[in-house]
Structure 1
Amino acid sequence: MSHSQQESSRLPTLSRQELALIAVTMVWGGTFLAVQIALTASGPLFFVALRFATAALLAALLSLKVLRGLTLRELWAGASIGVCIFFGYALQTYGLQTISSSKSAFITAMYVPMVPLLQWCVLKRPPSLMSWIGVTLAFVGLVLLTGPDAGTLELGKGELLTLIGALSIAVEIILISRFAGSVDSRRVTVVQLAFTSLLALLGMPITGEPIPPFSWLLVGIATAMGLASALIQLTMNWAQKSVSPTRATVIYAGEPVWAGIIGRIAGERLPGLALLGGALIVAGVIVSELKFRVRRGRRAKD
């Protein structure tokens, strides 16, 4: 094999876990529009409860052989992650009642630059210069995406709920990585999905949300979304045993791109400034990762 052939054979640097996470983003990107359609037949919390109950059931069926070994640490890990999933998805679902699926996806992507900031607060590891640049780009993108005029940030109810949901997802990413090396990912996945569904059901009487009438549309979407959620959570918990939180979130940055493509096919048309804002959010995600590649390269030379 020639030297050039050897170099070309080294070009693919993505692991199986990273490729799996890329596939997750493609599936994840399509869920925004599906949820928006489901909300025509259901309230937000009932849909979240039905979606994650279906996901928990499917994950349990796939993990029957290992469920008996559930430990207290895995129960705690699943419950903690489940709380974050509940707030992340419930707030996102509420937001989709008033904003487009494309806008929701781009705002949700703000969890990516939030991760290094949260790591700073929790793990006392300050973000590097590239992280701050990434955060700045993402914030400017948020301004353009949500403001009716350039340079103004006006968060409506839907945008604000989605942004808070993004913060919950950022915490979820960190918790998954914190527990991933010391728990069985299949057992934890079942617990976190079931816990999310339970919290949504408990929240219905508090918010006064009624149980909707039977709808085949709702059943079909909830079943499909439940399967997607189960696969997404199983894949995330498995893959993040060897993929760092920040690198994982960079891969997840492809999610709003896929959501935007699907939304455009469905007829959604974001204004030019909003599209630019979405592009800046994605750029902020990518820029914030550059520091990690530089650091790894420097350490390799030392």
Structure 2
Amino acid sequence: MLPERRGDLFILTATLLASAGWLFSKEAIAGLPPIGFVGWRFLLAALIMLPFCYRPLLALSRELLLKAAAIGLVMTLNLIFWIQGISHSDGIGEGAFIMSLAMLLVPPLAWLIFKERPSHSFWLALPIAVVGLLLLTMGNGLSFSKGQMFFLAASLSLAMYFNLNSRFARRIDPMALTCIQLSVVGIIHLFYSGLFEQWPDSIAPVTWGWFAASVLLATSLRFGCQTVGQKYSNVGNAALIMMLEPIWTVLISVFWYHEPMPIQKVFGCILILVALLSYRSASLLIWYRSRRALRAGTRR
């Protein structure tokens, strides 16, 4: 099998594991405190990854280590909103599509913080995504539920994380960067949980099973597959394959939770997906053209 195809399969596996992680998390927090669950999940995942990246970690300067940890604080905020969204929602499908809007929130944040103007493709995709989001909320009389508000906040903080991560952590080994950020997320969540959450006296074995699946499959294995996949997969293929995550999540939610998907919500999901595809496709086309121009200039 060609390395590129192997990379695509790793990315596809990562999206499946990520979507399954929504199910694992929702089932786990039925018997565990939400913040404490996230804390142990990410700290243990970081410890599992540590043997594979301790050499790059030891080679990091203090400046880069602090930058990676600071970006981990934004990731922490994102996961606080995300787990609260899950705990306040009956299903997980529409939340996954709301979270996918983070890709469209990255350009306006970059414009606001770094003075980078969004491309024309962004302005074309934005109204399509807005209409799709409104269709997702029509069941609530065009008002957002508490769960949807948490998912929107998670989407915004995720866009902030993408902006910072892409600029301040380019010189850090991806595995080491992930390990640092997962550690920060885990430690802060556990500190908060110790202060404000009440843990149950007994936890059912099935809850521990969901917790183990979250740590081993949806976090450690998922990030491992994603890292390996991005190493071999074409960047365009990887970006498009990763957009399948909300689709898998909707299918899981409809099957497992019997989440109702009336026609307006289906159209809302489709419009958000169309907006993301159109924006990503245009961005990738610009990237390909710049690469081709660079290669042509190098040959001269």
Interval of TM-score (by shorter of Structure 1 and Structure 2)? 0.7 to 0.9
- Aligned residue number for residue 116 of structure 2: 125
Pick one of 174, 183, 200 that aligns with 1:194.
183
| Native 8 Å contact 2:35 2:193 kept in 1 | yes
Give a deviation string over 1:212-265, Cα, whole Å, max 9, x none.
Answer: 333323322222212221334455567668999998665432110010111122
Pick one of 17, 31, 41 that aligns with 1:41.
31
| Native 8 Å contact 2:36 2:189 kept in 1 | yes
Structure 2: 5+ residue stretches without partners: none
Per the normalisation by structure 1, the TM-score is 0.83
The 5-angstrom pairing of residues 111-260 of structure 1 reads 111-148=102-139, 153-205=142-194, 208-212=196-200, 213-227=202-216, 228-234=218-224, 250-260=240-250
| Native 8 Å contact 2:64 2:169 kept in 1 | no
Alpha carbons of 1:168 and 1:247: their partners in 2 closer, same or farther (altered >3 Å)? farther
| Native 8 Å contact 1:46 1:200 kept in 2 | yes
Identity of aligned residues (%): 26
The 5-angstrom pairing of residues 4-19 of structure 1 reads 19=9
Greater alpha carbon shift after TM alignment, 164-173 vs 13-22: 13-22
Distance 1:147 1:81 in 2: 35
- Aligned residue number for residue 44 of structure 2: 54
- Aligned residue number for residue 62 of structure 2: 72
| Native 8 Å contact 1:147 1:154 kept in 2 | yes
Greater alpha carbon shift after TM alignment, 183-192 vs 57-66: 57-66
* Amino acid in the other structure paired with 2:148: E
| Native 8 Å contact 1:131 1:289 kept in 2 | no
Distance 1:49 1:262 in 2: 24
Alpha carbons of 1:75 and 1:235: their partners in 2 closer, same or farther (altered >3 Å)? farther
CA root-mean-square deviation: 3.0
| Native 8 Å contact 2:15 2:245 kept in 1 | yes
* Amino acid in the other structure paired with 2:170: G
* Amino acid in the other structure paired with 2:185: T
Give a deviation string over 1:17-49, Cα, whole Å, max 9, x none.
Answer: 565433322211111122111121012101101
Structure 1: 5+ residue stretches without partners: 1-11
Larger relative helix fraction = 2
| Native 8 Å contact 1:66 1:187 kept in 2 | yes
* Amino acid in the other structure paired with 2:17: V
Distance 2:108 2:9 in 1: 26
User: RCO higher in 1 or 2 (8 Å CA, sep ≥ 6)?
Assistant: 2
The Cα of 1:165 is off from its aligned counterpart by 0.7
Alpha carbons of 1:83 and 1:297: their partners in 2 closer, same or farther (altered >3 Å)? closer
**How many residue pairs align between the two structures?**
288
Greater alpha carbon shift after TM alignment, 260-269 vs 71-80: 71-80
| Native 8 Å contact 2:125 2:275 kept in 1 | yes
Query: Residue 175 of structure 1 aligns to a residue in which SS?
Result: helix
Distance 1:245 1:275 in 2: 29
The Cα of 1:163 is off from its aligned counterpart by 0.8
- Aligned residue number for residue 101 of structure 1: 92
* Amino acid in the other structure paired with 2:254: R
Distance 1:248 1:173 in 2: 16
Give a deviation string over 1:160-216, Cα, whole Å, max 9, x none.
Answer: 01111111222222333324531122222221111101111122255x321233332
Alpha carbons of 1:73 and 1:189: their partners in 2 closer, same or farther (altered >3 Å)? farther
